[in-house]
Amino acid sequence: LSLNEDHNFTALLGQSAMEYTLRELYGDDYDLLENDPSKANINAAIADRALERVAGGTGGFSSITLASYFGRLDYNYREKYMLQATVRRDGSSRFGANNKWGIFPSVSVGWNVTNEAFMDGRPDFITHLRVRGSWGVNGNERIGEFRYASMMEGNQNYYFGAGDDMVMQYGAGPTVLSNPDIKWEETEQINFGLEGRFFRSALTLGFDYFVKTTSGMLVDQPIPRYVGKGSPVANIGDMENSGYEFELGFKNSIGEFNYYINGNASLLSNKLIKYGNESGEIIYENAGASGVGPFVKGENGEVFPYFYGYKTDGIIQNQAEALAYNAASGRNAQPGDVRFVDVDGNGVVDDGDRVKIGKGMPDWTYGLNLGGEWNGFDLNMFFQGTVGNDIFDFSMRGDIPAMNRPAWILDRWIGEGTSNSIPRMTNANPNGNWASSDLYIKDGSYLRLKNIQLGYTLPELISKQVSISKLRVYVSAENLLTITGYEGFDPEIASGGYTTIGIDRGIYPQARTISVGANITF
């Protein structure tokens, strides 16, 4: 819709629906405890009368439905001022009847500065300038199925009687506590940005500032262990991510040589605003390991999460140092053991001395793309990296006898003056040398040549002689070069979620791959 060729409107209304259902039944048994197809589960079969249990198999059911209604309005005034407003209403079966639906609006505006009359006499090198801003709310419902309810688990059977008179009674019980009041996790984001093109678009730049606040985080709510059931999911946390994003690009030609350079970088600040419990903190027990203890923690006002453990002050070198340390800390250390720091100064090194020792979240994330072409040859290189992140290196553990060791094991303490960073090796480990501490923390910053490709396109006169319109051959390599101070397998560690960021458990490193190929067009 246009009014006077100055005002342009576009409107959109829509609706979508999605349903996903999975029913699994696998095994090699028969004779179900209940002859009801809706309760068919191979684990509940009792065909083996002698054992009255299934020898193997599995089964399950899951169902997800999502319904959405949405609308969008676009407004444009003479290509100077742009406005877009959207709103959507989403409903998910992952929430109970109390809070199944959520409403998520957003607004964005833009101003093309170069289309203003006062820019008609601008310098020739300014091609385009635009200012933009946006505000919006997004929803998250990825928590698994039926988390609002207390799911029942079968095979919690009980035997009555004894001997030949023993009878099994089929049983079931709840696996987790229910929470019918869980609702959509909401993330509010505000953006302000500037984009520009200069020198006939040869030089481009972009800048954005953003603040993203997540409220009602969907996380498992800690409960006392004596409850004996799994933790319910709840909306119990607020978190803020803010930062800057930069983009810079340049393209040019020198004779027959065309080249381009594109770079981007982002600076991120992360903070847990509120965790929904009295202490305002959470220690992730399941993140630890025997002999190490918990080492991932969330705390109000801090980066979420961070690595948590003892600070250290080198290795005890002789008996005199051991006696002095034991007297000051209340421990029973020997020469070659770690000297843990009594942070709170109470004369005892204990759990109260565990503090923040690092973080897996990088300050800077960046990428660089370089390329060019000349007389049929083309080259493209992509670099990526991070700055300001730590890695918790699990390979530093020295308390597991049956374990391969990195080369650093050769630099362990074996006598006075031999090492001040790697303790002695001992099965007894009376000092707890391998408890979570800053000895595990390594600088995870890196620069990696992620991909490089060199190609050559045959001249058209040659390729047409073999009935090919275009033939390009190339050689490419992935992960060819990595510059880092990290001594582990790979500084680029995949993450399964917030609480695993920067944790290196000795995973298989990303492969260095070299390949040769051809693109043929007939």
Domains of the chain, by residue range, sit at: 2-235
Q: How confident is the model over 284-339, as pLDDT tens digits?
A: 765 556 678 889 999 999 999 999 999 999 999 999 999 999 999 888 899 999 99
Check: pTM over 0.85? Answer yes or no: no
Q: To the nearest whole number, what is the mean pLDDT of the chain?
A: 88
What's the pLDDT at 18? 94
What's the pLDDT at 239? 94
Cα-trace Rg, the chain: 31
**Residue 47 pLDDT > 60:** no
Instruction: Say how far apart CA 485 and CA 190 lie, in whole Å.
Output: 36
Is residue 358 within 8 Å of residue 297, measured between CB atoms?
A: no
Average pLDDT over residues 57-76: 87
Tokens of 49: 């009368």
Cis amide leading into 335 (omega within 30): no
Phi then psi dihedrals of residue 38, to 5 deg: -70, -15
Q: How confident is the model over 361-405, as pLDDT tens digits?
A: 999 999 999 999 999 999 999 999 999 999 998 877 766 666 777
Phi then psi dihedrals of residue 23, to 5 deg: -125, 125
Residues in the chain: 522
What's the pLDDT at 278? 77
Q: Which of 241, 224, 240, 223 is nearest to 232 (CA)?
A: 223
What's the pLDDT at 48? 52
Higher pLDDT, 409 or 17: 17
What's the pLDDT at 70? 97
Which range has the worst mean pLDDT, 81-90, 200-209, 368-377, 400-409?
400-409
Q: Match 């933009």 to its residue by tokens.
A: 132
Average pLDDT over residues 450-463: 90
What's the pLDDT at 129? 95
What's the pLDDT at 135? 98
Instruction: Say how far apart CA 251 and CA 141 lie, in whole Å.
Output: 42
Q: pLDDT tier at 2 (50, 70, 90 boundaries)?
A: low
Question: What SS3 class is residue 324?
Answer: helix
Which range has the worst mean pLDDT, 221-235, 318-332, 350-364?
221-235
Tokens of 30: 């028969």
What's the pLDDT at 468? 82
- Mark 42-54 as b/e (b = at least 16 C-beta within 10 Å): bbbbbeeeeeeeb
CB within 8 Å of 505: residues ≥ 6 apart: 394
| E strand residue ranges, 147-256 | 152-153, 158-160, 167-169, 173-174, 185-198, 203-215, 218-220, 233-235, 237-254
The number of helix segments (H) and strand segments (E) in the chain equals: 2, 30
User: What is the distance of C-alpha 325 from the center of its chain?
Assistant: 41
- Mark 162-188 as b/e (b = at least 16 C-beta within 10 Å): eeeeeeeeeeeeeebebbeebbbbbbb
CB within 8 Å of 439: residues ≥ 6 apart: 312, 338, 396, 421, 422
Q: With pLDDT > 70 as the criterion, what percentage of the chain qualifies?
A: 90
Instruction: Say how far apart CA 365 and CA 211 lie, in whole Å.
Output: 17
What's the pLDDT at 150? 85
Q: How confident is the model over 253-263, as pLDDT tens digits?
A: 999 999 999 99
Question: What SS3 class is residue 55?
Answer: coil
What's the pLDDT at 88? 96
